[in-house]
Amino acid sequence: MAELKLSESRDLTRIERIGAHSHIRGLGLDSALEPRDVSEGMVGQAPARKAAGVILQMIKEGKIAGRAVLLAGQPGTGKTAIAMGMAKSLGQETPFAMMAGSELFSLEMSKTEALMQAFRKSIGVRIKEETEVIEAEVVEVQIDRPAVAGAASKTGKMTLKTTDMETVYDLGAKMIEALGKQKAQSGDVIAIDKSSGKITKLGRSFARSRDYDAMGPQTKFVQCPEGELQKRKEVVHCVTLHEIDVINSRTQGFLALFTGDTGEIRAEVREQIDTKVAEWREEGKAEIVPGVLFIDEVHMLDIECFSFLNRALENDMAPILVVATNRGITNIRGTNYKSPHGIPIDLLDRLLIISTQPYSEDEIRKILDIRSLEEDVEMSDDAKVLLTKIGVEASLRYAIHLITAASLACQKRKGKVVEMEDISRVYRLFLDVKRSTQYLMEYQNQYMFNEVPTREGGDEDDATAMHS
């Protein structure tokens, strides 16, 4: 007899990747919008966080539209971190769309269409509708299967009860299938939407909590519903204007949301949707939830995009626009004119500017502590002091990159805690910008296309001074 092989069963868990800002949980403000020293993954930048908190309060009130905020600061001063903190603080309901300025030029649609879609992704519509729902505890499910397979459809009965009443319902094939999918059994509390026939399992009844000794941690216990079996309930759906556009503009409808093949959406479709949403608002069926559109690297946009933004911000359906840049006075893309941050003056005029400052040594130490915890790396105090020094002299981003690298060096020597020797080892292995530039200056003759501007008769030190 052939030996029966049991397939190995592995416990699969979802892989959580650690990103540059995965430690951020919010803006770290108290109820009076005062920034705490270290909170929700945020450190320092107190004035910028406080200003972002005020903007956040305005967004939550939902009263304003078409305001724009510019986060301006040197590279590595936490501009994207503040935007991420705002997104986390807003919660699930408020739409938050994020894009980089350079994305617009690689899409298969016009720049203005891509910006319009981004704008509409960040405006939500909260639609309210009343529906009849049966909420009850399942007492018993009886399904009569036909004697001959396929001869007739299944039929059955289901007994449902609340604390006040009990009723038996006849089941058709569709309902039996829906119950099977939800794995509903006696003791479960379910909700049935009468209009669509959709069944939702709310949990198990407290009365049945002692039925089984083995319960999974995900088992949720709920009270047996009270009163009538049938109730009228208000259901609230939250969708973005872009989702409504896609569903109404394509032959395959909402499937376009999954395929990503949205293409360009005609202006007439958008006009009809805006008219319909305005009607719903007047009838009290829907309300607009202005969200946030965050554009990083905004200096990458060109003069046409800036003109579009100017116009789009005047619309009453506009979201809050948050843009970030690390440029000083530079050319506006598509022109020969220079402007602060590479943004035209007429748009700069509309922006509330939040400035971010370089981090102090103490703040760099706190950020490195948070990142070490996030990356699950144990580090000695001496190693942290050295890493902080590197962060001050080179850059914070470079110091953060060394954390995991030093942890791997520590594992190689069979150590448990990252020491100074691990930090110095990876510091020697990976160059920072200053040391890399110095190396280039020394060996520039051996590189292709070297164009170091040295004066005739001048020595190499002049060239080094120009680049350092």
| DSSP letters spanning 319-343 | -EEEEEE---EEEPBTSS-EEETT-
**Residue 157, token pair as written in the block:** 């009965």
Q: What is the pLDDT of residue 89?
A: 85
pLDDT of residue 465: 45
pLDDT at 252 over 60: no
Lowest mean pLDDT of 216-220, 258-262, 306-310, name the range. Answer: 258-262
Q: What is the CATH T-level fold of the domain 66-126+241-355, as seen in this structure?
A: Rossmann fold (3.40.50)
Do the Cβ atoms of 140 and 314 come closer than 8 Å? no
> In this predicted structure, what is the pLDDT of residue 184?
74
Please give the pLDDT value at position 70. Answer: 92
CA of residue 64 relative to chain centroid, distance: 23
**Strand order across the beta sheet in which 96-100 lies:** 96-100, 292-296, 320-325, 68-73, 351-356
pLDDT at 6 over 70: no
What's residue 456's pLDDT?
Answer: 46
How far apart (Å, rounded) are the C-alpha atoms in residues 158 and 170? 7
pLDDT above 70: percentage of residues in the chain: 83
pLDDT at site 248 = 81
pLDDT value of position 217: 61
- 129-235 and 361-445 agree in CATH topology: no
* Range of 186-195, 246-255, 443-452 with top mean pLDDT: 186-195
Element (H, E) at 238: strand 230-240
| Residue 2 confidence class, pLDDT cut points 50, 70, 90 | very low
> Residue 71: what pLDDT?
93
Backbone angles phi, psi at 161, to 5 degrees: -140, 155
- In this prediction, residue 415 has a pLDDT band, given cuts at 50, 70 and 90, of confident
- What are the residues whose beta carbons fall under 8 Å from the beta carbon of 248, sequence distance 6 or more? 269, 272, 273
Q: What is the pLDDT of residue 338?
A: 92
Which pLDDT does position 192 carry in this prediction?
A: 81
DSSP letters for 249-293: H-TTTTHHHHH-------HHHHHHHHHHHHHHHHHTSEEEEE-EE
The model's pTM: 0.68
How much is the pLDDT for 457?
45
Q: Is the dihedral of CA 115, 116, 120, 121 positive or negative?
A: negative
Instruction: Flag whether pLDDT at 279 surpasses 50.
Output: yes
* pLDDT at 11 exceeding the cut of 60: no
d(CA 429, CA 363): 26
Please give the residue that has the higher pLDDT: either 317 or 363: 363
**Fold of the CATH domain 361-445:** Helicase, Ruva Protein; domain 3 (1.10.8)
Which helix (H) or strand (E) element contains residue 346?
helix 345-348
Work out the number of other CB atoms within 10 angstroms of the CB of residue 18: 12
358-393 pLDDT per residue, tens = 888 998 898 888 888 888 888 899 999 999 999 888
What are the structural domain ranges in the chain? 66-126+241-355, 129-235, 361-445
Pick the CATH number of 129-235 from 3.30.70.370, 3.40.47.10, 1.10.3720.10, 2.40.50.360: 2.40.50.360
Condensed to tens digits (0 to 9), the pLDDT of residues 159-173 reads: 888 888 888 887 777
Q: Residue 230's pLDDT is what?
A: 79
Tokens of 355: 């400035």
Average pLDDT over residues 143-151: 64
Confidence label for 8 from pLDDT (cuts 50, 70 and 90): very low
How many C-beta atoms surround the C-beta of residue 77 within 10 A? 21
- pLDDT of 388 reads 92
Structure tokens at 7: 């397939």
Which CA distances in Å does 391 have to 24, 131, 367?
20, 58, 10
pLDDT, position 468: 43
pLDDT in tens, 93-117: 788 888 888 888 887 788 888 898 8
Tell me which amino acid residue 300 is.
M
Angle at 13 between CA 12 and CA 19, to 5 degrees: 140
Mean residue pLDDT across the chain? 80
CA geometry: angle 92, 183, 16, nearest 5 deg: 40
Q: Residue 146 — very low, low, confident or very high, per pLDDT cuts 50/70/90? A: low
Least confident range of 57-61, 63-67, 128-132, 361-365: 63-67
Q: For residue 464, which phi and psi values (nearest 5 degrees)? A: -60, -40
User: Given a cut of 60, is residue 4 above it in pLDDT?
Assistant: no
**Would you state the pLDDT for residue 306?**
92
- pLDDT class for 16, splitting at 50, 70, 90? low
Q: How large is the average pLDDT for residues 433-448? A: 84
Name the β-bridge partners of 302.
Answer: 333
pLDDT(229) > 80:
no
Mean pLDDT along residues 292-305: 90
Mean pLDDT, residues 394-409: 89
**Which pLDDT does position 55 carry in this prediction?**
87
pLDDT value for 459: 47
Q: How confident is the model over 69-81, as a mean pLDDT?
A: 88
Q: What angle, 0 to 180 degrees and rounded to 10, lies between the N-to-C axes of helices 460-467 and 433-442?
A: 160
User: Looking at the predicted structure, is the pLDDT value of residue 411 above 80?
Assistant: yes
Which of 228-242, 294-308, 454-468 is most confident?
A: 294-308
DSSP letter string, 61-126:
HT---S-EEEEEE-TTSSHHHHHHHHHHHH-SSS-EEEEEGGGGGGSSS-HHHHHHHHHHHTEEEE
Q: Stretch 112-141: mean pLDDT, rounded?
A: 85
Helix/strand/coil percent split, the chain, to 5: 40, 25, 40
pLDDT tier, 274 (very low <50, low <70, confident <90, very high otherwise): confident
pLDDT, average across residues 229-236: 76
Distance CA 171, CA 166 (A): 16
Q: Distance between CA atoms of 128 and 285, rounded to whole angstroms?
A: 5
Calpha distance 468→465 (Å, rounded): 5
